[in-house]
Every structure is written in structure tokens, then in C-alpha cells.
Chain A
């Protein structure tokens, strides 16, 4: 039975049918990959000296570390394929800027670095070992937020964690990668969860799945039937169910205080893909060099859930999926609610790329915005209980003090308000501007 829901939220047309029943396909090794030095939240990686010195022409193996940063909140990046470094220069990044990246041309052999080997049995690993493996593997939150995973596994001593939640909500429309991962890599998810519970000394594991994925839920329930400390939680299908704070509130009843992290209430959240990556790092010694993502939208000829090596260019991924139609209006990396629109497909797949969407006018709604009619639908749907229209107006008028007083900084930009607005006002955009200005003033 579904747990009680959170306040607010919306029910967009999910458009998951095109890919939800398609098994994950492995894309053939790309000829070339582009590996940005920043694929996570936190300090950017610096290119390792051995690669930097040789520069172009440097031979690298798959899984070899390319960049790292000594900072705690950071995650190293690795070569996704074996081959030769062709270039080290800023390259288009899905975040909308150019970021230093290593271009590797494949030698077609896919040879793995020597240090890629199993880490041993989970029973023999200490919590510290697990944290180290996760860090060295460069694992970050694969749901899209790309927060370094080892940081979440290292809570301060005064904040004990008792619950680890695996996020299988996948509440973003169009995306089905997590759904397929749950169906096809279910054992690895549970192993990854156990590893995280061990690293955190947590007593309870929860796998949260939205009830529009009954097959995944049944499978998970069967697999954890014998496990005393792990339960599957059915989540009502509603966007943004997969948002950290909503997920925690629905699965555990705990409310993360405003401005605080989940560890404040003894909870850590990880995406299903992250759990799989942790399992692969422990069992095979493989760092995070690939991921599963959904390529879909009305503009894609052959929608698919595909497993790709990181650094593969979006243009090649789209080519592999039959190309995109001329009627494509928007190319989005991520889901349609929170993803980033791209000016071109000449961008690499990075750790946080959960999907690539080619949206046509069948998908996107392009309309001029009209004045706010104060219908308050945005207030009703805001999962954070904010007043989006008032914050947006304050930001529009440059009154950032008022925006802050209206709790602008608590907005996590889920997009429910812009989605529901009958006047089609870009509320999130204004709120983002407001948040930015508030932070600028704070950091002064």
C-alpha cells in the first residue's frame, strides 16, 4: 500500500511508455570520449601530473585516474576507455560553459588499468575501506545532483545515520533508466545498499519506488523478502516524489529542517544507479566510467535505455538512437522538469546525465507569458510550501530582501510552479535569479 503523500506536487504526463519496457542496450565503444574535469558538485579535479606532463599522445587505460582533487567534497575522474590523449582543452559542458576536458581517442582494445580488480568480500571490508573505495571510484549521485557519494557516507560523529534510502522514485517524466536498472540490476542495488549500510553502520535500508513501476517494486520486494533490515516502500506517483526531502518524509515520516541536510535526521539518500556503481566498484574494482540513461522524446527516432561510457558525445548517442528529427525544438540533458536545455549536441555524457531528450512541439509548450492572475496554483503545488508567485515578483522587482523573507533559498527548483502556471510565467527562472542575488549578497 502506498504511504501517505507529501504536500503539493504535480501530475505531469509521464510519457514513459516509449522506453519503460525496453531493456538496457549497451552502446558500442565510442571512437572518442571527452572527459571534463568537473562532473560533480564540489572542487573541480586537477589533471594528474603523469597525464599532464606527456599531454597529447599520452597512453591511457580504461579506469585509469585522470584527475583528482585533495578537497573532501570532490570526486576523481577516470578514463572511460583505453586509448591516446588527443587533446586537453576546455570543451562544451552540459552546465552551459566550457570546462577543461581530456579528449581520448580509442585504441579499440578497451584495456583496463591494472588497479581495476575486485576489492574483496563485503564482510571483510571495514566502513573506512568502503568509503575509500567509493571515493577512489569517483562515484557521485547518479540521479543528476552529482554530489560525491563518499561524502554522504562520512557523516560527522555527532550525526549518526540509521536509515539509508535508495531512491527508485524516478519521478521525472520521460526517464526510465532507473526503472530498467531496478529490473535488470536489482541484485547489485541491494548489494550496494548493504555496503552503504555497513559504511554508515545504519540499521535500516529502504528502497523507495513510485507505484507506477509495479514490476520493479514486486521484484525488489521478492529480493528483500528474507532481509530483516531492508524494506521496499511504495511511493504515490507524484512529481517531485524523488526529491530528497519529500522522499524522506514519505518513507520515514522525518522532516529535514529547512536549510539542513538529510543527515540531520539520521538519513542518507542514494539513487539506484549510485548503488549499482558502488557494487561495481567493490565487486569488480571498476571506477565510475559508464552509466545507464534514457534517450527519448518525440524527436528521437529510436528511443532507448542505453548504457554508455562517460565522455561519449551526446551527438553520437543520438546518432546511435537513429538521429533526431528536424522538428526538435529543445535538446535537454536530464528530465523535462529539471534538466538543462542545450544549444548543441556537441557535449559529453557526464556522471549526472540521466537522460537526453529531444523534445518537439508535441512535448514542449511554448507560450508567451501573461500577467499573474494570482490563482495561487503555484502556492498549492509547491512541495516546500513557498509562495512562488510572490518570490518571483520580488525577484523581478529586484527586491531580494523580500525574496529572502519569502524563503526563496528553500526552493530547490523542482519546477512545479512554472509547470502549473496558467499564465505560463517562468517562475523558477525568476526565483533562480533571486536565489543567486541573495547568495551573492551573503557572500560579500
Chain B
């Protein structure tokens, strides 16, 4: 009965949770479903096409780079592709989407050694490359306007200024409209509601820490209140305007919470969130670009190791060493 030589001897613990990198990534994809659905409802078939092209090209580029036949693999490439797609305008041409996905996977992730080793959020690296290279398609003041439930409409024909680019335009939209997302903007950023649903689910699942979106959104609100100029009704509604307009919600909930490129300590995560909010608002209020979320997060990614190092938590029962 004794089965010498066949038993596995390894370090404890001998049981593991069922969670894997793949299961976590699938959860993130599920969390993005409301935002993706909203994108299709608002921007029609072009949104669907952009998302499919982005996801498939991201997965293919990664599989080819890693010389693996397993296209889905750990699911992280699909997440990167979908996140990138959600930051693109509905009218983005197919080649732009593919270049964005390929840049995200190769320059954003694989050149550093693949998942876990990259410094910057891959989707945002892809987006940043598109913004600086094809600014006309990406960072203009004019974006496709949504046509709710008009699945087949031509996004290029109906355009409008983003609310961030033109304050006089912004005031024509009410807060509820901003919250639901029926405004011009990128595919996934417009509906705060859809993003929030997925975010709450991710916090519930323990995949993201409320400190990052909390610090990010909180800082944007506070700065919007005090420095926003109160153009949108009063100073408080101006604060809310800055939360719901542009990429703050998608950035705070899905980009700034990317595991690999953000701090692991609780205090570090709060600092990271606040830093993102601060830089976003510095760019929005005093910079030349209308929106600052992408570069805010990328800049904070760069200082993540430093933040971690300065926020090592005190161990249980430990006492702060007096300096």
C-alpha cells in the first residue's frame, strides 16, 4: 500500500485557491462587458468592429511573439486589446487599431519580458503611441457622436466636440447625460454608469483595491471643485463634471488598477490614485491637451517602484522606528 517514490514532496501549503491569472483576466473581461455593450449601443457596429479587431490583433501579436499556439493563453492580451479599443474613437480606421494593439503588446509588454515585467500599462502605451503619431485621428477636438440604438450608422458623419475640449459645448449636456454616456468621446469612456457597474464587481471579487479609483476620482473631484472655475453650474457640479467627462472613470477603475504597473502596498495604492488624479487635473486645467488621464497614469507607473519602497507596511505588532 505504501507508495514510496510516487509521493510528491513539496513545501506547504498543499492546497491552493482555484484562482489563476487566467481566471482573474476573464473576470476583468466580464467587468468590461457593460462598457463594451454600452459602446455598441451608442456607437453601433463600428464600435463592435473596433473591439473585435483590437482584441484579436492583440492576442495574435502576443501568440506570434511568444511562439505559442495558445491564442487566449492567460487572457491578458485580450484585456489589453479590449481596454485599448475602449479608449479609441469610434471612427478609428482598422489599421490604426491594429498598430495600437501591436504597439501595446510588443512595446508595452513583451520587450520588458512579458506579463509581470512591464513598467507601463500596455494599453496606455499603445494609446499614447497612437496619440503622438496619428494625432489627427486620436486627439482632435472633434469625436464621433453617439446615435443610441442606431446600430448601422456611419460614425464619421456625426461628430461633435468632446465636452472637455469646449466648455461652451459641455454645458449643453446635463450631468445625467454625462453619467449615462450619450456624449461624444471614445468608445468606452463615455458611460460612467457602465464602468462603475464593472468596477464595483471587481472590488467585490477582490481584484482591484478601492484605494486607487477612490484616490484618483476623489482627487479629480476636489481639484475640479476648487480649480475648475465653476463653469458647469456651480463649483460642486463642476467637480462632478470632471469625474464623468473624459477618461477618468475608465482610467481610474480599469487602467490605474492594472496589477503589474501599480503599487502593491495599501498606502502606495492610495498615493498612486491621488497622483493620477493630480496629474490628470494639472493637464486638463493648465496643460495644452484637453485630457490628461493617459499620461497621468503612465507617469505614475514610472514611479510605482519608488512608491512601493516608501510605503512598506509596518508588520503586525511592529513599532515605527523613530527616525
**Residues B24 and A330 in contact, CB atoms below 8 Å apart:** no
- Quick one: which of B1, B10, B206, B316 contacts A323, CB cutoff 8 A? B1
Interchain CA distance A422-B312 in the complex, whole Å: 22
Interchain CA distance A367-B264 in the complex, whole Å: 24
Contact code string A398-419 (vs B, CB < 8 Å = 1, else 0): 0000000111001001010011
Contact code string B100-131 (vs A, CB < 8 Å = 1, else 0): 00000000000001111100000000000000
- Assuming the contacts A379-B264, A424-B16, asked whether A341 and B318 have C-beta atoms less than 8 A apart, the reply is no
**Residues B315 and A337 in contact, CB atoms below 8 Å apart:** no
**Residues A376 and B19 in contact, CB atoms below 8 Å apart:** no
Closest to B313 in A: A385
Q: Is the interface of B mostly helix, strand, loop or mixed?
A: loop
Which of A29-37, A185-193, A343-351 lies on the face that meets chain B?
Answer: A343-351
Residues of A within 8 A of B207 (CB): 375
**Residues A424 and B20 in contact, CB atoms below 8 Å apart:** yes
Interchain CA distance A365-B76 in the complex, whole Å: 22
Q: B170 CB to closest chain A CB, in angstroms?
A: 37
B154 within 8 Å of A (CB atoms): no
**Residues B316 and A363 in contact, CB atoms below 8 Å apart:** no
Total A-B pairs in contact (CB under 8 Å)?
190
B317 within 8 Å of A (CB atoms): yes
- Assuming the contacts A328-B7, A342-B7, A372-B116, asked whether A422 and B24 have C-beta atoms less than 8 A apart, the reply is yes
- Quick one: which of B3, B7, B14 contacts A336, CB cutoff 8 A? B14
Contact code string A59-73 (vs B, CB < 8 Å = 1, else 0): 000000000000000
Interface residues on B, range: 35 or more
Interchain CA distance A352-B192 in the complex, whole Å: 56
**Residues A385 and B314 in contact, CB atoms below 8 Å apart:** yes
Contact code string B1-36 (vs A, CB < 8 Å = 1, else 0): 111110111111111111111011000000000000
- Quick one: which of A346, A365, A376, A386 contacts B15, CB cutoff 8 A? A365
Interchain CA distance A83-B115 in the complex, whole Å: 62
A432 within 8 Å of B (CB atoms): yes
- Quick one: which of A255, A371, A383 contacts B116, CB cutoff 8 A? A371
**Residues A385 and B316 in contact, CB atoms below 8 Å apart:** yes
**Residues B319 and A257 in contact, CB atoms below 8 Å apart:** yes
A209 within 8 Å of B (CB atoms): no
B141 within 8 Å of A (CB atoms): no
Residues of B within 8 A of A380 (CB): 206, 209
Interchain CA distance A200-B1 in the complex, whole Å: 48
Interchain CA distance A373-B117 in the complex, whole Å: 8
B308 within 8 Å of A (CB atoms): yes
Interchain CA distance A315-B1 in the complex, whole Å: 8
Closest to B317 in A: A258
Closest to B74 in A: A370
**Residues A329 and B116 in contact, CB atoms below 8 Å apart:** no
Closest to B4 in A: A344
- Assuming the contacts A379-B265, A385-B314, A385-B315, asked whether A365 and B16 have C-beta atoms less than 8 A apart, the reply is yes
**Residues A390 and B308 in contact, CB atoms below 8 Å apart:** yes
- Assuming the contacts A365-B18, A387-B312, asked whether A344 and B2 have C-beta atoms less than 8 A apart, the reply is yes
Interchain CA distance A370-B15 in the complex, whole Å: 17
Q: A163 CB to closest chain B CB, in angstroms?
A: 17
Closest to A408 in B: B315
- Quick one: which of B7, B11, B16, B266 contacts A343, CB cutoff 8 A? B7
B71 within 8 Å of A (CB atoms): no
**Residues A255 and B317 in contact, CB atoms below 8 Å apart:** yes
Interchain CA distance A86-B14 in the complex, whole Å: 36
Contact code string B275-317 (vs A, CB < 8 Å = 1, else 0): 0000000000000000000000000000000001000111111
**Residues B19 and A363 in contact, CB atoms below 8 Å apart:** no
A10 within 8 Å of B (CB atoms): yes
B57 within 8 Å of A (CB atoms): no
Residues of A within 8 A of B5 (CB): 343
- Assuming the contacts A341-B10, A341-B14, A415-B12, asked whether A376 and B259 have C-beta atoms less than 8 A apart, the reply is yes
Cβ contacts A to B, 26 pairs, < 8 Å: A10-B17, A13-B15, A255-B316, A260-B317, A324-B1, A336-B13, A339-B14, A346-B4, A363-B14, A364-B8, A365-B17, A370-B74, A373-B115, A375-B24, A376-B263, A376-B264, A376-B265, A377-B206, A380-B206, A383-B316, A390-B264, A419-B13, A419-B16, A420-B17, A428-B13, A429-B10
